Structure 1
Amino acid sequence: MNNIYDINDLIRKYISNVLTTDELMALRQAVRGSSDNEIASMLEKEWDSLKQVQPIDESVRRQMFAKIESQIGLKQYAIRKFGRNILKYASIALLLILSALSVYLFIDNRQMAALTTNQISVKTAEGERTTVRLPDGTTVRLNGKSELDYKQDFGLNNRQVQLTGEGFFSVVHNADKKFIVNTKFIDIEVFGTQFNVYSYENKDKVEMALVKGHVKVVANRPPYQVLDVHPNQKIVYEKRSGKMQLVETDNQLETAWMTHDLVFHSEPLKTVLECVGRKFGLSIHTDKSVNLNDTYTGMFDETNIREVIQILSIHYGFSYQINGNAIYIERAKRI
């Protein structure tokens, strides 16, 4: 018998259909650990405690017995003292029901646990962009060759996602549940804000630029720096050294990949090429002969990378070669 729960109380709750999962398991164990006489005595006690019960007609009793017999596979016995024997058969039926229910609940709980660990992944191909709306209303705009992962139970216990590539987050405010973006090298913690994350596997750095609100960035590798970031600032994490620094930035440049226009105001060529490469999902390699400190002011509304690079090559006097997903730039040779 179960020493924690009162078996008679469990039986009454079972009849009233108010058992919890733990109580149902306890009742099942109690039934399995009791003798037939103990079960019969308990059920008889509950039977006698019922008030205003109308007598059961003999034909109805026979039908009830036949149904129980067919369901639990009992051999045919003479029906004698049916008013008492039904308690024994009812206890056996109860045991079968409890066993079936406990198995069902066990399987159902395992299925629920599996659902909470299911991972949802959203991926974009090169040159593709998409917008993801999370269950809490937060939107994430993904750049090309990016991946956003989160669990199916997102928002129930926490708001946590993983990002590879580049994404712009518009996080819905929730003071009770902070929003966390995990990358391979840094974690970003916010409650509600807008920011851009740049975290490609094949790049030497990870960046987080804040557009609105306030965030905390935590490096998840030595020396485990923690920095607070405000609007128009960005974090630059160097993968090789593990160092993270806070710098001022222009959010128009950081989020230029989301628009058709690229606008530059006296920006060094190095920054211009980085923005162009991110917008079109290309790697741009420059020869040492190219002066990356030269500044550029202008706007591109072209959606063709060849036209953009052609304009820059005329302005700076360099030559270039496009090879697949890479562009190689060198200073044009004078004739």
Structure 2
Amino acid sequence: MTINDKFYRLITKELTDGLSREEANMLQLEMQKDKSSEKRQKQISHFWNFFFPQTKQHNIISKTEKKLGFTYHSGRENKLWKRLGIAATLLLVVSIGAYILTPRQHTTLNEYRCDVGEQKKVVLSDGTQVWLNSISYIVANEPFIGDTREVILFGEAYFEVAPNPDQPFIVKTPMLSTKVLGTKFNIAAMNPHARQEISLYEGKVELITDNKAHQSIIMKPGEKAFFSPESGEIEVLRTTLGKPAQWREGILYLYNEDLFSIALKLERRFKTKIFITDPAVGRLRYTAEFENEPLERIIKILCEAKAFAYEKTEGGFIIKSK
């Protein structure tokens, strides 16, 4: 492990689980050795606290989770999501650290965030248009300098990338890089355990896994790819994608998706917790389309299609087997 590796590992732990006294002393020592490390630590901490402020969990939700013994929304999963988020962010900060710390480069680490229940359009410095779905954000160092244009994505976004063959556009999500030249595509990466979805409407993209296998797959228009961070496998299907990113118009389009993934999308859209108590129910798959339907109506239709039970509570919806 190099000195830089040790430094960033300690920062990651400091922002998630906390440091022991010995580790805190080690981090302090590293910053004393290199003054630029202290500045970088402050920048990373500021970024992390901006996007992941400490929030107090709703008492009813907390009691419900404890009573039913849920693992789907467990604290361990949240910590893992934080670690993946910090790790991805640190990769970006490390790769552009020289630009951040050198004023003459005139670059800025920009963060584009979309709140709960909202959709937002942003235009990056190269002219690339990005539509962010609810509770999603991207991080980019702009203007783009070097051989690539690189952004980090958490959540779901639709991209219309400005063509530039000399500077490929790369979207980084947990354990996956999506590399394009100029195209239109949608990425959904909402949870470290859930599979990621990439839908390609125009152009060509290359999917590159950031694991030991380093798998690489070229996608063609009209294809939908599914990537599992846990298995590291990519599955590509030829399908009818319909209109690009229909969620921008309030349409929820589902294609062969399991109920766990659907629940995440519904939580983001309707600001409501959805608990699944039976893993077998969570693995039920659906292909459907809903346009501006209320949450309970959607859950009821899904329930009638695959025969599960649900209960509406003050803390959200509980989905279980019949």
TM range (shorter): 0.5 to 0.7
2:129 paired with 1:129: no
Please name the residue that 1:20 is paired with. none
> C-alpha displacement at 1:255, in angstroms?
3.0
Counterpart Cα distance in 1 of 2:309 and 2:119: 30
Please name the residue that 1:6 is paired with. none
Q: Which of 109, 112, 125 matches 2:104?
A: 112
Q: Which 5+ residue runs of structure 1 have no aligned equivalent?
A: 1-108
Please name the residue that 1:330 is paired with. 320
> C-alpha displacement at 1:212, in angstroms?
1.1
Q: Which 5+ residue runs of structure 2 have no aligned equivalent?
A: 1-100
Q: How does 1:1-335 map to 2 (within 5 A)?
A: 110-113=102-105, 115-116=106-107, 118-154=108-144, 158-252=148-242, 255-262=245-252, 270-271=257-258, 274-275=261-262, 277-278=264-265, 280-281=267-268, 285=276, 287=278, 290=281, 299-322=289-312, 327-332=317-322
User: Could you give the per-residue CA deviations for residues 23-42 of structure 1, whole angstroms, max 9, x where no partner exists?
Assistant: xxxxxxxxxxxxxxxxxxxx
Contact 2:277 2:320 in 1 (8 A): yes
Please name the residue that 2:34 is paired with. none
Distance 1:289 1:243, change over 3 A: closer
Please name the residue that 2:9 is paired with. none
Distance 1:217 1:317, change over 3 A: closer
> C-alpha displacement at 1:206, in angstroms?
2.4
Counterpart Cα distance in 1 of 2:228 and 2:129: 27
Counterpart Cα distance in 1 of 2:200 and 2:307: 35
Distance 1:322 1:197, change over 3 A: farther
Contact 1:234 1:248 in 2 (8 A): yes
Counterpart Cα distance in 1 of 2:282 and 2:188: 25
Larger Rg: 1
Contact 1:124 1:142 in 2 (8 A): yes
Number of paired residues? 218
Structure 1 SS opposite 2:164? coil
When structure 1 is superposed on structure 2, of 229-238 and 191-200 the one drifting more is 229-238
Counterpart Cα distance in 2 of 1:296 and 1:133: 32
Please name the residue that 2:65 is paired with. none
Contact 2:259 2:281 in 1 (8 A): no
Contact 1:158 1:179 in 2 (8 A): yes
Counterpart Cα distance in 1 of 2:292 and 2:299: 10
User: Could you give the per-residue CA deviations for residues 65-119 of structure 1, whole angstroms, max 9, x where no partner exists?
Assistant: xxxxxxxxxxxxxxxxxxxxxxxxxxxxxxxxxxxxxxxxxxxx95324x32x31
Contact 2:311 2:317 in 1 (8 A): yes
User: Could you give the per-residue CA deviations for residues 17-70 of structure 1, whole angstroms, max 9, x where no partner exists?
Assistant: xxxxxxxxxxxxxxxxxxxxxxxxxxxxxxxxxxxxxxxxxxxxxxxxxxxxxx
Distance 1:279 1:225, change over 3 A: same
- Aligned amino acid, residue 154 of structure 1: F
- Aligned amino acid, residue 232 of structure 2: G
- Aligned amino acid, residue 276 of structure 2: H
Contact 1:137 1:172 in 2 (8 A): yes
- Aligned amino acid, residue 231 of structure 1: P
Contact 2:260 2:276 in 1 (8 A): no
Contact 2:112 2:139 in 1 (8 A): yes
Give the alignment's TM-score, normalised by structure 2.
0.57
Contact 2:126 2:162 in 1 (8 A): yes
Structure 2 SS opposite 1:172? coil
> C-alpha displacement at 1:208, in angstroms?
1.7
Structure 2 SS opposite 1:228? strand
Counterpart Cα distance in 2 of 1:240 and 1:150: 26
Provide the identity percentage: 24
Contact 2:197 2:226 in 1 (8 A): yes
User: Could you give the per-residue CA deviations for residues 174-205 of structure 1, whole angstroms, max 9, x where no partner exists?
Assistant: 22221111223111111100111122244332
Please name the residue that 2:42 is paired with. none
Counterpart Cα distance in 2 of 1:180 and 1:254: 20
Structure scoring higher RCO (CA < 8 A, sep ≥ 6) equals 2
CA-atom RMSD in angstroms? 3.3
Distance 1:212 1:262, change over 3 A: same
Counterpart Cα distance in 2 of 1:139 and 1:285: 36
